[in-house]
Structure 1
């Protein structure tokens, strides 16, 4: 069965999830991984040239979540840049070769302010709801919490491997400083954009709203009475570890506070799929003037063969 078609809006908010290959702990938090991940994420936002804004994020040991605003299909190139650089650089850190990601990322539209706050709460709950740490602040991985409770800008290092490669001499590249040496490090700033429903609030009120969400998710976790693994144990896990059991759940079509909004999204998606399939049928017959829905990707055609829809 093929992947479901992606439907991008002219502009909109998305809740993005990407999981590591086989659920392995390839993103297991440590100081080096956090620094590299932060630099790659900041560079990806800069590379988007304003077509993607970052509102929240958290990196677990085997997956990550982003809450973003994106224009048109720019999220596709943003995620390609982000995941490709994470797989190369974090893979090098944890000595992992081969596939880094399990499957395509999911990007679910977030359709109203209540749903946006709900997705932010979900991001902040990571580590607590799973019983890994007692409070969100104890999670040792990269998270947006320090930026939500402090300055919105945070500085990381981007390790410029192009500079390293271009600066090589006739000597073997292995004789040069390693790929994460300070010679290749460039400062890069990661900025967190406020939720649109909070833009009218001053910093103190925004932080108060975040703390209220934290109190709620931590109270729910305590009520479940699950034992806590602890940040130290999380960091002691080997990044190649494959969990025995992975949580699997169907991907929602989107997130909204009312069923009516989700129903409208479902009808919009059905119309999008129908229009895409009609255009694709003409495309496969050689009619390359067939109009595809906005922000969609036509099938790739190889001379003499018809290949899969991207």
Structure 2
């Protein structure tokens, strides 16, 4: 496993963040990018076979956030599929062939209902809190807001490059634009599920709760009285642009409404790391019976008198 070690739960909620290489605007909103990103996200949820559920998302120009529920280590496979396909397909759209992501994604446990609502508010605040748009609904990138205020299901196009390869003799699909041709597009449905603490509410009540969060975000932004870039200017930015200044902050261990819950999570994580390190040390010396903590990934090794890391 990479560092920091990820501690997955038997099932739980996570706030996921992933940023583009050097903070470049490789996910800059456009109709084409939004459609491709939506299709990849919907396909990733579909491929998880119910082991990952999506509750909120927003795609900025250089990063994205997801609020998900996941079972066991299913989030690892989900994120591998999502990021790999985004890098290939969005990278093609913006003519970027190098590394697409800056570092490993972060997946922070969200421990209670109040923290879940807080993370949802953070997602809905995107674009407004940075001074990019005046209202959350004006953000030109892909966001869950329309699905939270309207139908929870939305259909995107998944461009099957496997199907394109099977039809490689076709002149229409041989060209570069054939990678996003309608002949290889498959409709996929993306469902945004309500937060568990809101499931007992009616649809109109949930929508009122979302509007209240959005209004609070927009009110705070107006109080700061700072100039706004605007959606048109956001769309006009070149996707290869590297921002002069990037926000760097330590990743939180998790999100909770009480200090006690965070302290308990910290103790669990320390025990997890200690158990993993002990098992990894035995594993590297050839003891392949060493028990690793649940939902962790042993190092890859070559058997021998002294095991060697690949």
TM bin (shorter chain): over 0.9
- Give the Cα–Cα distance (whole angstroms) in 2 for the partners of residues 166 and 32 of structure 1: 24
After superposition, the C-alpha distances for 1:216-241 in whole angstroms (9 at most, x for unaligned) are 11111111111100000000000000
- Aligned position for 1:61: 61
Match of 1:214 in 2: 214
Whether the 8 Å contact between 1:301 and 1:307 is mirrored in structure 2 is: yes
Partner of 2:277: 277
In structure 1, the residue matched to 2:108 is 108
Partner SS, residue 101 of structure 1: coil
Supply the distance in 2 between the matched residues of 1:269 and 1:112 (Cα, whole angstroms): 17
The alpha-carbon deviation at position 170 of structure 1 amounts to 8.7
> How far is the alpha carbon of 1:201 from its aligned partner?
0.4
Q: Name the counterpart of 2:14.
A: 14
| Partner residue, 1:125 | 125
Encode CA deviations 1:208-266: one digit per residue, 9 max, x unaligned: 00000001111111111111000000000000000000001000000000000000000
Contact 2:42/2:189, CA 8 A, preserved across alignment = yes
Q: Is the 8 A contact 2:284 2:309 kept in 1?
A: no
Q: Distance in 2 between matches of 1:162 and 1:211?
A: 41
How many angstroms does 1:173 deviate by? 6.6
Within-5 A mapping of 1:1-310: 3-169=3-169, 174-175=174-175, 178-302=178-302, 306-307=308-309
How many angstroms apart in 1 are the aligned matches of 2:176 and 2:250? 47
Is the contact made by 1:15 and 1:119 (CA closer than 8 Å) also made in structure 2? yes
The answer to whether the 8 A contact 1:25-1:61 is kept is: yes
After superposing on structure 2, the runs of 4+ consecutive aligned residues of structure 1 that deviate more than 2 Å are 169-177, 302-308
In the alignment, the residues of structure 2 paired with residue 192 and residue 7 of structure 1 have an alpha-carbon distance, to the nearest angstrom, of: 25
**Aligned equivalents of 1:144, 1:206: Cα separation in 2:** 14
Secondary structure class of the residue paired with 1:179: helix
1:251, 1:99 → 2: CA distance?
22
Tell me if structure 1 keeps the 8 A contact 2:18–2:64. yes
Q: Which range moved further: 165-174 or 257-266?
A: 165-174
**Structure 2 stretches of 5 or more lacking a match?**
none
Structure 1-normalised TM-score? 0.96
Change (3 A) 1:248 1:169: same
Deviation at 1:177, TM superposition (A): 6.1
Query: Residue by residue, what CA displacement relative to the aligned partner does 1:7-58 show, whole Å, maximum 9, x if unpaired?
Result: 0000000000000000000000000000000000000000000000000000
Partner Cα separation in structure 1 for residue 282 and residue 172 of structure 2: 53
When structure 1 is superposed on structure 2, of 299-308 and 17-26 the one drifting more is 299-308
Deviation of 1:115 after TM superposition, in Å, equals: 0.1
Q: How many pairs are equivalent? A: 307
SS at match of 1:178: helix
Q: In structure 2, what is the Cα distance between the partners aligned to 1:175 and 1:203?
A: 46
The alignment's TM-score, normalised by the length of structure 2, stands at 0.96
